[in-house]
Amino acid sequence: MLKRPTDLRLGWVLMSALAGGVMLAGCDQIGDRVSRAKEIAEASAGQVSGDTIVDESLRNLQAASMADRALAGTVMAEFVVDDEERPMFAIGSIIAKPIDIAPTAAMAVEDTAMSAEEIEYFEEEYYYEEEAAAGDIPESAPASAPENATSREVAGDILQVEQVLPTIMIDPRAVAKTEKSIAAADKEVDQLVLDEPPLAGRLKKMTRQEFKALPAEEKAEIRKLARRAPLVRETLKAQIDANSVMADTMSKYNMGGAVALSREGQMVIQIGPDGASPTQFKGPVTDPASFLARADSAKCTDEIQPADVVGDLALATACVVRDLRASGQFEYVEPDFIFQNQFVRRNKDAPQPDTTAGTGTGTTGGTNTPTQPATFRPNDPLWSLQWHFRDQGTADDRSAGGAGFETFWNRQGTTGSRSVVVAVVDTGLQMAHPDIAGSPNIMPGWDMVSDPRMGNDGDGRDSNADDPGDMCDPTKANAADSFHGTHVAGTVGAAATDNGAGVAGGAWNVRIVPVRALGKCGGRLSDINDAIRWAAGLIPAEGPGGTEEWNENPADVINLSIGLLGACPASLQDAIDSVTERGAIVVSAAGNARMATSFYAPAGCRNVVTVAASDARGQLTPYSNYGAEVMLLAPGGDLTRDDNGDGKPDGVLSTKAATNCFDPVTGQGVASCNYAYEQGTSMAAPHVSAALALLKARTPSATKDELIATLRGALDPRQPLQCSGLCSQYPGTTAVPGSPDMCSRPCGAGLLNLAGIPAAPTGGGGR
């Protein structure tokens, strides 16, 4: 075992060289590749041993303290699909939606007699300077607020604290008790709907000029209200009525449980043999098999009878799903699947990655140069190692696989805007991280992990989005907490940029909302669905005493660096459709299983921006998923390569607590650090989220479709060999013409390149 820091670096060098030689069989450039691997090995070994003087031009790196520059990055073998990647579900948890529930957006218009244009009016962040045409928007509100009035008072007391929706308890062994619970929920819903003023009554109607005259806080309150899903009696009634069907089905298998209602019709059903909700268990659990099951190990066939499921809650869950589907009363019924983060995890027994993939030489960039002298260049010491944000090209300070952020900042004159919000639905944030604790970009988030066994923090949902760690099985080799959300959010802009410490983020001045939906062993689909809707400001979370807690910073962009091996679940598609209908953009990692994205979620869902991972050459990485659903490539990194020749693995460098670190200046070992190289489509997605946030800051009035079109219009096209791999490693793919051993892996319209976006029209943007 290599233990010394220098040995770790040399170990990485040797593994890179090995990968560069062993995997070249069948290719015609073996000599050149081996020579290149040897050059990398020698140069890297010299740097980390101190024989080579680190380039003095690495801005601020040597002047920074070791705590502000130390980082981690070790070699990882190729990701392979193993038992961990087969779909799992939470035992005793089911997601369902009754049939014939109209879309909430449509109901909001019908119930309030407001037009779609009026709702859009209140959702816009900025407005035209000229007066609205007479009759466009009814005028009924004063141009300004009463002196000393709060935003809640100005909004007409529309933000009154309300109770969350009731939960229905079902106990088939006590029919009267169950009926009483259903009746009580019915009565409570009636009162909640009656108490909630309609949208038209909650929103002040005024001209654009009157709206602009309001303080920013009051405008924000009104916009948030326009997005919120209303309480609609028909939607809630359909859920309540469905409980009789669920009670009959649970009784068949001698199960009881709890049913949680929602504003948009999606219900979460928790079943158990003792009638208790499985998520209420709070005892210490070391074996995830006690609350998670493989989807293929719990199949309820037609031959299985109720007596066959006694003592097997996993099988009972599958059978309840089967019977509820067969009832014809539901739009969809599905298990509560478990999603994983999209880091490329280490597997010691896996072969080294295919370094022959993408041997073609497509465009290398270098044609997009700043139109003005650089004025936005972060002083963070590790910026010099963040090749992924650089402009494309081969000259100094450029990278063939860079995403062009530096030119964008300077050409557009903006590094973001406080009016733009990006939600990161992930493992939460390390709130004590030194580059995050002092960041002005972090907004209040929420912990949506409902099951205390997965929460790893001793409780269920609450307002604390801190990441306590997500390690599933401590006995497994290489087991460790991922702190995945911290790395992802750091790339978007959670890290305090231009503060002379650590790393830079892609968007310096945006608001980041952390929404914790993944915990120990992954994240429940039901939690992720709620997290997406809460992030967009559609539904409330449950606060202390059962009060509603809304996201006060509804997201413009929602980053999902998560994945499930399987087709897009219907409930997840429902949640995505809900938020995109209201103007949010959902960005998804393509996944790291080296397969078509149609077999992965949310990458294969509709209405998402699906992002595959590229390396420092701008070529599709060996681990990345691919397919027709992929919209674009973005830097995801490849820790087995050093194509930029800096003596470091070509991973994406971002915020994250790590161990076995090193000082990039001296090569000396450091026990722990706050920055790390990682690789994965999880790293690619936040580059795109940051890019869309910057575009929103540049042109605040742009719609989500316009923002996406602008991003697509500047992509740098890839040549076929830049998105290819050995046909033997990617079955079912099509050979590249002229290269029979190499097969194409569709990787979207091109590589993210913000430098290709022309300067905004005068008055279109700002910091």
- pLDDT for 624: 94
Span 204-226, pLDDT tens digits: 556 667 766 777 667 667 767 77
What is d(CA 447, CA 426) in angstroms, rounded to the nearest whole number? 10
**Are residues 313 and 371 part of one domain?**
no
Lowest mean pLDDT among 358-372, 486-500, 753-767: 358-372
**Are residues 502 and 365 part of one domain?**
yes
What is the pLDDT confidence band of residue 21, given thresholds at 50, 70 and 90? very low
**Are residues 418 and 329 part of one domain?**
no
Q: Domain count for the chain, please give it.
A: 3
pLDDT at position 480 over 50: yes
Mean pLDDT of 606-630: 96
**Are residues 394 and 282 part of one domain?**
no
User: Containing domain of residue 174, as a range?
Assistant: 88-133+152-340
142 falls within a domain: no
CA-to-CA separations, 147 to 143, 151, 153, 157, in angstroms, rounded: 12, 11, 11, 16
Assign 476 to helix, strand or coil. Answer: coil
Assign 95 to helix, strand or coil. Answer: strand
Mean pLDDT of 231-255: 91
- pLDDT for 341: 86
User: Looking at 283, 308, 340, which one is the last position of a domain?
Assistant: 340
What is d(CA 635, CA 685) in angstroms, rounded to the nearest whole number? 8
What is the pLDDT confidence band of residue 97, given thresholds at 50, 70 and 90? very high
- Asked if 670 and 331 count as a contact pair (C-beta separation under 8 A), the reply is no
Q: Bin 101: left if φ > 0, else alpha if -120 < ψ < 50, else beta.
A: beta
Rg of the chain in Å (alpha carbons): 27
Percent of the chain with pLDDT over 90: 50
- Asked if 647 and 16 count as a contact pair (C-beta separation under 8 A), the reply is no
Residue 205's CB is within 10 A of a number of other CB atoms, namely 16
Mean pLDDT of the chain: 78
What is d(CA 300, CA 669) in angstroms, rounded to the nearest whole number? 54
Mean pLDDT of 468-487: 86
463 falls within a domain: yes
pLDDT at position 465 over 80: yes
**Are residues 369 and 272 part of one domain?**
no
What is d(CA 737, CA 590) in angstroms, rounded to the nearest whole number? 26
- Encoding tokens for residue 412? 């557009």
271 falls within a domain: yes
pLDDT at position 740 over 70: yes
Q: Which of 388, 484, 487, 687 is catalytic?
A: 484
Q: Which of 682, 689, 724, 744 is catalytic?
A: 682
- Asked if 192 and 231 count as a contact pair (C-beta separation under 8 A), the reply is yes
CATH number where 514 lies: 3.40.50.200
- Encoding tokens for residue 294? 């493989």
Mean pLDDT of 220-236: 80
What is the pLDDT confidence band of residue 616, given thresholds at 50, 70 and 90? very high
- pLDDT for 77: 52
101 falls within a domain: yes
Helix-helix angle 116-123:216-227, to 10 degrees: 140
- Asked if 730 and 624 count as a contact pair (C-beta separation under 8 A), the reply is no
- pLDDT for 17: 32
- Asked if 79 and 345 count as a contact pair (C-beta separation under 8 A), the reply is yes
Q: Is 426 labeled as catalytic in the residue annotation?
A: yes
763 falls within a domain: no
Query: How many whole angstroms from its chain centre is CA 62?
Result: 34
680 falls within a domain: yes
- Asked if 647 and 41 count as a contact pair (C-beta separation under 8 A), the reply is no
**Are residues 480 and 545 part of one domain?**
yes
User: Looking at 324, 340, 356, which one is the last position of a domain?
Assistant: 340
- pLDDT for 284: 52
What is the pLDDT confidence band of residue 115, given thresholds at 50, 70 and 90? very low
**Are residues 445 and 332 part of one domain?**
no
pLDDT at position 6 over 70: no
pLDDT at position 252 over 50: yes
**Are residues 526 and 397 part of one domain?**
yes
- pLDDT for 444: 95
78 falls within a domain: no
Q: Which of 68, 171, 426, 615 is catalytic?
A: 426
Lowest mean pLDDT among 261-275, 324-338, 367-381: 367-381
What is d(CA 210, CA 708) in angstroms, rounded to the nearest whole number? 31
Span 350-383, pLDDT tens digits: 333 333 333 333 333 333 333 344 478 899 999 9
Q: Look at the block and give the residue holding tokens 């502000």.
A: 68
CA-to-CA separations, 422 to 509, 557, 585, 741, in angstroms, rounded: 11, 5, 9, 42
Lowest mean pLDDT among 37-51, 172-186, 422-436: 37-51
User: Looking at 289, 315, 340, which one is the last position of a domain?
Assistant: 340
Residue 2's Cβ-side half-sphere holds a number of Cα atoms within 13 Å equal to 15
**Are residues 437 and 418 part of one domain?**
yes
pLDDT at position 242 over 90: yes
What is d(CA 577, CA 561) in angstroms, rounded to the nearest whole number? 18
pLDDT at position 112 over 80: no
Lowest mean pLDDT among 125-134, 181-190, 230-239: 125-134
**Are residues 282 and 167 part of one domain?**
yes
610 falls within a domain: yes
What is the pLDDT confidence band of residue 173, given thresholds at 50, 70 and 90? confident
- pLDDT for 18: 29
**Are residues 382 and 303 part of one domain?**
no
**Are residues 434 and 324 part of one domain?**
no
Span 635-681, pLDDT tens digits: 999 988 888 888 888 999 999 999 889 998 888 899 999 999 999 99
- pLDDT for 105: 52
Residue 34's CB is within 10 A of a number of other CB atoms, namely 14
Mean pLDDT of 424-432: 95
Residue bearing the bigger pLDDT, 12 or 71? 71
